[in-house]
């Protein structure tokens, strides 16, 4: 089993004829992802890699019945793309787009609240269930099948931590890049709950960073989890008040510091990795201590 996506997931790509959308769609197909169609307004009736292209998500959803929409749409239009997918009742929407205006995401978040669509992102690397399905931009070669779930605000640190796990023979159940913006669809806490309820996931690696209080909210859930959690917080040396990489990685008050986040997670029972280079070894030790390897 896995969370969010598996080998049966039917994927629709919004922005499939764009440079990035097209290139990543090809890589998803090569990985084994079941991409069923694409959407580019004005290009309906064309084909991309043998897949039908539609003008609207409604039309594509009606004819192809996708379970997931992958969005590669420029930032000014990304919010409309997310809402169009939700309006078509697609259960899972993964938005890769970086630079989506915060006010646009306020509208999207409010509209999706209480509905049947789960959003991952924006400004994220996507989701991958190793050996089954890749929906996003993650490099499939570093992932391996197994039982450790990975959640991260940072795409780069997903790849780094997974490479360490794979090199130690520790495979992953699913890896979720939740995104680094101030307002995102699915929080770290919500992703933790999905993994906690997944029978195929034995432990979770949580990678956070400075800014906001998402890690503290995640810590509240960690305190009641049945599975061990290894956590790393990036940005410990970042100067207060300066944006570091992600739009959400800016400290505003004590709650946004790396120390505050690590303290909250440690108090909740998570095992803290003090260095990104130690995520793999820390996870291996935790699994050994729990009798899981």
Active site residues: 246
Between CA 183 and CA 5, with CA 202 as vertex, the angle to 5 degrees is 50
Beta bridge partner(s), residue 133: 129
> In the sheet where 172-177 sits, what is the strand order?
133-136, 126-129, 172-177, 145-152, 203-209, 229-234, 271-272
Q: DSSP code of 8?
A: T
Rounded to whole angstroms, how far apart are CA atoms 85 and 13?
Answer: 10
221: closest CA among 182, 264, 183, 186? 264
Neighbours of 225 (CB within 10 A): 17
Rounded to whole angstroms, how far apart are CA atoms 216 and 110?
Answer: 22
Rounded to whole angstroms, how far apart are CA atoms 245 and 155?
Answer: 11
185: closest CA among 259, 245, 61, 96? 96
Rounded to whole angstroms, how far apart are CA atoms 151 and 270?
Answer: 14
Tokens of 122: 């924006």
Neighbours of 124 (CB within 10 A): 30
């Amino acid at each position: 089993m896995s969370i969010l996506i598996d080998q049966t997931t039917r994927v629709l790509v919004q922005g499939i004829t764009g440079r990035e959308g097209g290139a990543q769609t090809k890589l998803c197909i090569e990985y084994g992802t079941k991409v069923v169609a694409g959407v580019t307004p004005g290009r309906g009736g064309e084909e991309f890699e043998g897949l039908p292209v539609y003008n609207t998500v409604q039309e594509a959803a009606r004819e192809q019945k996708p379970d997931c929409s992958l969005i590669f749409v420029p930032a000014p239009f990304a919010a409309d793309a997310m809402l169009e997918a939700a309006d078509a009742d697609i259960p899972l929407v993964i938005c890769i787009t970086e630079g989506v205006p915060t006010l646009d995401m306020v509208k999207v978040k409010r509209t999706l609240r209480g509905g049947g669509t789960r959003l991952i992102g924006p400004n994220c690397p996507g989701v991958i269930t190793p050996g089954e399905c890749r929906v996003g931009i993650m490099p499939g070669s570093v992932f391996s099948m197994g039982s450790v779930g990975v959640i991260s605000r940072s795409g780069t640190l997903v790849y780094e931590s997974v490479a360490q796990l794979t090199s130690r023979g520790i495979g992953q159940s699913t890896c979720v890049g939740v995104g680094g913006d101030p307002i995102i669809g699915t929080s770290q806490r919500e992703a933790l709950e999905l993994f906690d309820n997944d029978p195929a996931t034995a432990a979770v690696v949580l990678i956070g960073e400075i800014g906001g209080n998402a890690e503290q909210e995640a810590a509240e859930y960690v305190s009641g989890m049945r599975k061990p959690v290894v956590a790393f917080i990036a940005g410990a040396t970042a100067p207060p008040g300066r944006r570091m990489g992600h739009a959400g990685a800016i400290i505003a008050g004590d709650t946004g510091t790396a120390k505050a986040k690590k303290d909250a997670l440690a108090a909740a029972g998570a095992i803290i990795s003090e260095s990104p280079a130690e995520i793999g070894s820390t996870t291996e030790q935790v699994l050994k201590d729990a009798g899981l390897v």
